[in-house]
Amino acid sequence: MKKGNPKISEYFDLHKFASDVSQARSDRGFTQDEMASFLCIQRSTIVRYEDETHIPTPDYLFRFCRMLGLDPNDYRKKAIKAQENDCNEVTANEMPPAFDSESFRRDLLDARLGQNMLQDDIPRIYKIKRTAYGAIERTGKLSTEMLYKLCEIFHINDLKKYIKRQ
């Protein structure tokens, strides 16, 4: 039974993510507690993702995908889907990967400059808050929703290159 109304997302397919995580977790024999322990998060976080009440951060999206053998490109609504899936199951001794925000930040800046756009052009054209976009370019920290939106804007089709191995 779903709790509350899930956030409607224009770029992230929350329903597909929730069902894939739940199915892959149970197929691999993980309980929510075991998965939470391995990912160093609380069980309630996994419950919220599986109940479609929260969109994961890019870090958690990549960790879930790596651990469960899922492809982060599968959850983009408006983008070209990557063909190959190289996310492998994580062994017990291996740390799950995180989102490489520094690499994404550099590619985002290169893409913007490649299209001869000023930093102020992005908020004006694509209805993104100027301060939020500036912070993304400075720090690389962003929400999953914004990650997919910027990938759509700048035609970044493969998210696998932003998996940071630990």
User: Per-residue pLDDT for the chain (166 aa), expressed as one digit of tens each?
Assistant: 444 444 557 788 888 999 999 999 899 888 999 888 888 889 998 999 899 888 888 888 888 888 888 888 888 876 444 433 444 444 444 555 678 888 888 888 888 888 888 888 888 888 888 888 888 888 878 888 888 888 888 888 888 888 776 5
Phi, psi of 164 (to 5 degrees): -95, 115
Residue 163 buriedness (CB in 10 A; 0-12 / 13-18 / 19+): buried
DSSP 8-state code for residue 164: E
Are 118 and 94 within one domain? no
Are 105 and 47 within one domain? no
Are 72 and 113 within one domain? no
Phi, psi of 116 (to 5 degrees): 55, 45
Which range marks the domain in which residue 143 is found?
100-164
Residue 154 buriedness (CB in 10 A; 0-12 / 13-18 / 19+): middle
